[in-house]
């Protein structure tokens, strides 16, 4: 069963606050973790503002993490959906973002946190729109679950593959 994006909570827009800057620094310090708090394999990266070179770098790092997962078809989907979320965070915000992927007993969870409260919009792409507007449709179609979690500053867009 698919869960669709849902949310609530405060929406923050405007200038990058001191609180958001502090949160980004905290996330940066914990980047590249080998395991999460429960001992599951985890990949964590800070993504520089508008640095689209991060997209293939994150894909490769995710591929390396998932090599031990033993689900090659799902790994390809994970890479595609990760590319969509990372690209969205980098082109639709003007701030850093944080990527986290965790392989647990129930599958893979990927999260991309940014520091802009504006929620992403799921829209049906138009035929003449080129390649724009398809990212969240792919996430919705190919993931087992996905959503958006609002924070005091910003949001996390996530998906799960079981």
Q: Which domains does the chain have, with CATH numbers?
A: 42-118+130-161 (3.30.565.10)
For 113-150, letters b (16+ CB in 10 Å) and e give: bbbbbeebeeeeeeeeeeeeeebbebbbebbbbbbbbb
Task: Round to the nearest angstrom and report the end-to-end CA distance of the chain.
Answer: 12
The pLDDT assigned to 125 comes to 65
Arithmetic mean of pLDDT, 40-51:
94
Please state whether beta strands 145-150 and 42-47 pair in parallel, antiparallel, or not at all (unpaired).
Answer: unpaired
Give tens-digit pLDDT for 86-108.
999 999 888 999 999 999 988 99
Cβ contacts of residue 110 below 8 Å, gap of 6+?
62, 78, 81, 82, 85, 99, 100, 101, 158, 159, 160
Report the share of the chain in percent with pLDDT over 90: 55
H or E stretch at 98: strand 97-104
Q: Identify any residues that bridge with 157 across adjacent strands, giving them in sequence order.
A: 112, 148
Q: Given pLDDT bands bounded at 50, 70 and 90, which one contains residue 120?
A: confident
Judged against a pLDDT cut of 60, whether residue 1 lies above it is answered with no
Output the average pLDDT for the chain.
Answer: 80
Q: Looking at the chain, list the stretches that DSSP marks H as alpha helix, in order from N- to C-terminal side.
A: 18-29, 54-66, 72-92, 135-142
Q: Given pLDDT bands bounded at 50, 70 and 90, which one contains residue 129?
A: low
Question: What's the whole-model pTM score?
Answer: 0.77
Q: What are 1's two structure tokens? A: 């069963």
């Amino acid at each position: 069963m698919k869960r669709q994006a849902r949310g609530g909570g405060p929406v923050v827009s405007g200038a990058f606050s001191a609180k958001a800057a502090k949160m980004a620094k905290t996330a940066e310090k914990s980047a590249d973790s080998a395991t999460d708090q429960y001992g599951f394999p985890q990949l964590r990266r800070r993504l520089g503002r508008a640095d689209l070179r991060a997209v293939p770098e994150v894909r490769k790092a995710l591929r390396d993490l998932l090599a031990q997962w033993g689900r090659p078809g799902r790994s390809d989907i994970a890479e595609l959906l990760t590319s969509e979320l990372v690209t969205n965070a980098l082109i639709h915000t003007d701030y850093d973002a944080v990527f986290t992927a965790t392989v647990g007993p129930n599958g893979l969870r990927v999260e991309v946190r940014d520091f802009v409260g504006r929620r992403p919009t799921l829209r049906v792409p138009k035929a003449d729109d080129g390649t724009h507007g398809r990212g969240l449709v792919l996430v919705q179609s190919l993931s087992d679950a996905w959503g958006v979690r609002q924070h005091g500053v910003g949001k996390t867009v996530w998906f799960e593959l079981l």
